[in-house]
Amino acid sequence: MKLNLKSKWTLAALTLFLACQSKPTDQRTMEETKEINFEFKVEKIGQWEGKDVFKYSLDNGFMEVEMTNFGGIISRIITPDKEGNMENVVLALDSIPQYYTGNGPYLGAAVGRYANRISNASFELDGVKYDITKNIGENHLHGGKKGFGVKVWDQAEPYDSEDAIGVKMHYLSEDGEEGYPGNLDTWLFMELTSDNEIKVRFESTTDKKTVVNLTNHSYFNLGGIKRDVKDHEVQIFADAYTDVDGQSIPTGDLINVEGTPFDFRIPKNLGEQMEANGGGFDHNFVTKKENSSDLQKIAKVKHPESGRVMEVYSTAPGVQFYTSNGMRNFKGADGKVYQPFWAFCLEPQAWPDSPNKANFPSAALALGEKYVHEIVFEFSVE
């Protein structure tokens, strides 16, 4: 879809103009030239635990994204369908303050210090055992009772480049927080590009060996959140998944997807795969067998009725595919009540319980090393 955009930012009452145009020199160049219109708005919406909370709205002329420094949350993604109708495609609450105490499902949040599960809420590093918070039975989930998704990130400020606008923010997870060792210093960068990508990047360092696994936990419904997502077509570029026990803790085994309902290597109707599986999905798919910095496409989802498409890229070795099985009678935005299977999550990540599985890619971070995780959600219409 051709974009006809010009360069303009609005920051509260202040408007800044960024030069993003080039003068065409011939007819061919004129046809290929596009004016890029970036609009950025920021609004202070209150305080939480003594810290200022802001809402940021990013617009590139094709799509709009809303985010906040509370929890590093992506709270809205508004995109057109094939008829040009603009709709939000992520589960949301009506206002940012509602996320302070009403976001049990981690809607849109930056989750950590360790996304997903750690068995028995404990692990060892260099022979030292660390007991971390139990918040899902005897196990640990998504960083504990007060993980990164309910913290106010500080030093938040906008930034721009020739083809993107974004917000960066910072959070220091102190030594001992939720039981984790080391002061983990993290920067989160979230931006909207002229190519209709939402780019998320985490960068962390520590002063003591620790474990880290950060991701974004958005719940997507490309149909505009009118019903469940069983009519979506899903493709996940993985030939194996990590087997789990009855508590969703990995057994340590990798299962080949061949001949199973987990085989999404070619596009599959989600509802049919769910029926074949006897219910929804909440599993880590193996996108790499070892850690690397390579950014690769890990998934593609299409909603045939609306024509909306989302492609997902990540540098992580796995992605948790979750079909919101546990969502039930949850009061969301715009008067909607979210039910099971009304959304799907694609959470790029380290493999669950990696700190306790020697055969899994390591999630340890040592002094002097830098953890970097890049995620890209790219939107289009077919």
DSSP sequence for 281-331: -EEEEES-SS-----EEEEEEEETTTTEEEEEEESSSEEEEE--TT--SEE
Q: What share of the chain is helix, strand, coil (3-state, %, to 5)?
A: 10, 45, 45
| pTM, two decimal places | 0.92
Based on DSSP, count helices (H) and strands (E) in the chain, helices before strands.
3, 31
The pair of structure tokens assigned to 50 is: 């003594």
202-218 pLDDT, tens digit each: 999 999 999 999 999 99
Percent of the chain surpassing pLDDT 70: 91
How high is the pLDDT of residue 32?
43
Confidence of residue 382 (pLDDT cuts 50, 70, 90): very high
How high is the pLDDT of residue 26?
38
| Residue-range domain boundaries for the chain | 9-381
End-to-end CA distance of the chain, in Å? 9
Max Cα–Cα distance, the chain, nearest Å: 68
How high is the pLDDT of residue 275?
98
How high is the pLDDT of residue 37?
87
Residue 296 CB neighbour total at 10 angstroms: 12
Confidence of residue 374 (pLDDT cuts 50, 70, 90): very high
| Cα–Cα distance, 69 to 50 (Å, whole number) | 14
* 378 is an active site residue: no
| Cα–Cα distance, 199 to 348 (Å, whole number) | 13
* 31 is an active site residue: no
225-239 pLDDT, tens digit each: 999 999 999 999 999
Which is catalytic among the residues 39, 66, 140, 217? 217
Least confident of 9-13, 56-60, 108-112: 9-13
Residue 349 CB neighbour total at 10 angstroms: 28
How high is the pLDDT of residue 35?
64
Strand, helix or coil for residue 373: strand
Strand, helix or coil for residue 28: helix
Percent of the chain surpassing pLDDT 90: 90
143-187 pLDDT, tens digit each: 999 999 999 999 999 999 999 999 999 999 999 999 999 999 999
Mean pLDDT of the chain: 92
Side chain identity at 105, as an amino acid letter? P
Which is catalytic among the residues 39, 197, 347, 374? 347
Residue 88 has pLDDT above 50, yes or no: yes
Side chain identity at 63, as an amino acid letter? M
The label of the residue with tokens 């199973």 reads: 260
- CATH number corresponding to 9-381: 2.70.98.10
Per-residue pLDDT averaged across 40-46, rounded?
Answer: 97
Instruction: Dump the DSSP string for 56-79.
Output: EEEE-SS-EEEEESBTT-EEEEEE
Measured in whole angstroms, how far is the alpha carbon of residue 294 from the centre of its chain? 18
Confidence of residue 25 (pLDDT cuts 50, 70, 90): very low
The label of the residue with tokens 């039981």 reads: 179
How high is the pLDDT of residue 83?
97
Instruction: Dump the DSSP string for 74-143.
Output: EEEEEEE-TT--EEE-B---SSGGGHHHH-TT-TTEEE-SB-SEEGGGEEEETTEEEE----BTTBEETT
Per-residue pLDDT averaged across 33-42, rounded?
Answer: 80
Per-residue pLDDT averaged across 256-265, rounded?
Answer: 98
Confidence of residue 191 (pLDDT cuts 50, 70, 90): very high
Per-residue pLDDT averaged across 20-39, rounded?
Answer: 48
104-142 pLDDT, tens digit each: 999 999 999 999 999 999 999 999 999 999 999 999 999
Confidence of residue 28 (pLDDT cuts 50, 70, 90): very low
